[in-house]
Amino acid sequence: MINYKDLGLVNTREMFKKAVAGGYAIPAFNFNNMEQLQAIIMAAAETKSPVILQVSKGARQYANQTLLRYMAEGAVEYAKELGWENPQIVLHLDHGDSFETCKSCIDMGFSSVMIDGSHLPYEENVALTKKVVEYAHQFDVTVEGELGVLAGVEDEVSAEESHYTKPEEVVDFVTKTGCDSLAISIGTSHGAFKFTPEQCTLDPETGRLLPPPLAFDVLAAIEEQLPGFPIVLHGSSSVPQDEVDTINKYGGALKAAVGIPEEQLRKASKSAVCKINIDSDSRLAMTAAVRQVFAEKPAEFDPRKYLGPARDNMKKLYIHKIKEVLGSDNKA
Ligand code: G3H
Ligand code: 13P
Ligand code: ZN
């Protein structure tokens, strides 16, 4: 049993309290490899932003859970080397799918876990989340639960259509489970294709697809039920069109990729939404940079020459999110 506190990590409790009170949101960035982690830590250290490092089931399979955990421990030391005196870094399991997975992460030093029972019947979701909370809280590890189902694919949990969170269920769920934060469904979804072209309108000036707005009325109703309670938004990539254009220019084939407009995420950040999950945008930034190097320098074969620009591009993206969208800079 390794306690996250011995690794220099923190849980989300204080972080979320301050974010809700301060009207900003903490970035939760997924990582799968060293370059992503470096870019996240460089961006957080430079902006003095609290940050959540997210490890998905896919990341655990790709990179190994133990290795990722040691990388996160290294990230705390790296952040200090970069001059961040008191790094506020959370190591979080994204979309935990069973009690055993959550326990295994807690036992090896994660400071926060998500148990995603959103696809289960309500009472089963309550029972599973409660079981994880009871285990996690013994070690002061915080737990994110989820109510409502996002459209598309949720880490091997698929849903035919989006089912918004029912505001009338949230008090009962939070009270019965004791979870520390709640992921909700108000129209976001995972990946780079969040809306079909039919769901969007065409901006005559730019020729871009404009997606429908998020259900801010549902968010407001949830906040009314749970004043000040930390709310989480998954599927919050904006799918920057310049990255999509670069990918397509250099041989990619991303057609009709659409994300959540930044303006809506700015608005959400000012509410009780205090954790915003971003993965796809980092994938796009990385792919755009790598494709550009491959196209412009076909003789290059030193990985540092294409992964370095990819890292730079991701760092730029993370800083932009922190400073211009979530408002979490200078909060740590
Ligand atoms: O919620 C989904 C995340 O973007 C993680 O995706 O399972 O492909 O790592 P992944
Ligand atoms: P995106 O696919 O919009 O980046 O969402 C990531 C996410 O919700 C991770 O849990
Ligand atoms: Zn998610």
Residue 84, domain CATH: 3.20.20.70
Domain presence at residue 320: yes
Global pTM value: 0.96
- Answer whether 235 contacts ligand 2 (Cβ < 6 A): yes
How far is 182 from 152, CA to CA, in rounded Å? 19
Does the residue 332 lie in any domain? Answer: no
Q: Which domain does 197 fall in, by range?
A: 4-326
Question: Residue 303 and residue 133: Cα distance in Å, rounded?
Answer: 42
329 among known catalytic residues: no
Of 29, 146, 155, best ligand 1 pocket probe by most atoms within 8 Å of the beta carbon? 155
Q: Which residue has the higher pLDDT, 312 or 209?
A: 312
CA of 234 to the centre of ligand 2 (A): 5
Cβ-based neighbours of 70, under 8 Å, separated by 6 or more? none
Å from CA of 327 to ligand 2 middle:
19
Q: Is 59 in the pocket of ligand 1 (CB under 6 A)?
A: yes
Instruction: Report how far residue 48's alpha carbon sits from residue 321's, in angstroms, rounded to the nearest whole number.
Output: 13
Q: Is pLDDT of 154 > 90? A: no
**Where do we find the tokens 């990619």?**
252
Ligand 1 atom with minimal separation from the 32 CA: 9
Residue 290 reports pLDDT greater than 50: yes
Q: Atom 5 of ligand 1 has which residue's CA nearest to it?
A: 56
Residue nearest to atom 10 of ligand 1 (CA): 58
In a domain, 169, yes or no: yes
Q: Closest Cα partner for 223 from 215, 211, 213, 234?
A: 215
pLDDT in tens, 78-111: 999 999 999 999 999 999 999 999 999 999 999 9
Q: What pLDDT does 194 receive?
A: 94
The pair of three-digit structure tokens given for residue 110, joined into one six-digit string = 């994660």
CA R_g for the chain: 19
pLDDT in tens, 9-54: 999 999 999 999 999 999 999 999 999 999 999 999 999 999 999 9
Q: Three-state SS for 70?
A: helix
The confidence score (pLDDT) of residue 206 equals 85
C-alpha 155 – ligand 1 centre gap (Å):
6
Of all protein residues, the one whose alpha carbon is nearest to atom 4 of ligand 1 is 279
Ligand 2 pocket check for 58: Cβ under 6 Å? no
65: number of Cβ within 10 Å = 17
User: Token pair for residue 278?
Assistant: 């971003």
Query: Of 321, 250, 324, which Cα lies nearest the Cα of 287?
Result: 250
Calculate what percentage of the chain has a pLDDT beyond 70.
97
Secondary structure letter of residue 214 according to DSSP: P
Residue identified by tokens 């301060």 is 22
Q: Tell me, yes or no, whether 260 lies in a domain.
A: yes
Q: Per the domain annotation, does 331 fall within a domain?
A: no
Amino acid identity, residue 8? G
Ligand 3 centroid to residue 114 C-alpha, Å: 10
Q: How many domains does the chain have?
A: 1
Query: How far is it, in rounded angstroms, from Cα 203 to Cα 205?
Result: 6
Tokens linked to 312: 């730079």
- Name the residue with tokens 């470096």: 38
Q: Round to whole Å and give the CA distance between 280 and 245.
A: 15
